[in-house]
Amino acid sequence: MGRISFKGMLGLVLSAICFAVSIFFPWWALRLTAPQYKEGLYMWVYPYKMEGNLDIINSLNHYIGMKQFSEATFPELSYLSYIVGGVAILTLVIAISRNRTLLAGWTVIILALGIVGIYDIYRWLHTFGANLSSSAPIEVDPFTPPIFGTNQLANFETFSFFSYGAGFAGIAIFLLLVVLWKGKERHV
């Protein structure tokens, strides 16, 4: 497949930096709004922690019988940042090696990891929304919150979205694809 060009190598270095930087920003978020919470309640999910109005959200979720959100509930948060850091390092190693065959294989692996990550978010959203306690004070039908988009639940409107960390990871993946497509060293 040839070697990666010098510009392609720089693109991969930038990709590795984007992967590394993504660790320090939230990847996914949820905003809940209702008449009594016009400013919105937020939950920010980083690769290693959760932040936001978790206490209030959990106390509200209790009324519909949803399990509590916490870092302990999501085992992925104990190791995901290490995986992303490893991805950044291996991307940098491939940049230095300038080997397009390695880049092709690596890109397939990264795309597969992205699909698995999105499925994992869906799986958790489904698990939390579909397994409601039957003894909850307010009875609602089981549901699956969207990974991206809005949902109406009683008087709450939820908006789920990918945040800055996912944006950095997306840029990193885009750079991998561009370098794979256009980054071949040319001989004249």
Segment 107-112 shows an average pLDDT of: 97
Q: By C-alpha distance, which of 143, 146, 138, 147 is closest to 128?
A: 143
Q: Model confidence at 183, in pLDDT bands (50, 70, 90)?
A: confident
pLDDT given for residue 184 in this prediction: 78
Q: Model confidence at 154, in pLDDT bands (50, 70, 90)?
A: confident
Cα dihedral 162, 131, 75, 170, rounded to 10, equals -20
Is it the case that residue 188 has pLDDT exceeding 60? no
Q: Which residue has the tokens 């870092």?
A: 71
Q: Model confidence at 29, in pLDDT bands (50, 70, 90)?
A: very high
Q: Give me the chain's average pLDDT, please.
A: 93
Q: For residues 42 and 53, is the Cβ–Cβ distance under 8 A? A: yes
pLDDT given for residue 155 in this prediction: 87
Record the pTM: 0.89
Percent of the chain with pLDDT over 70: 98
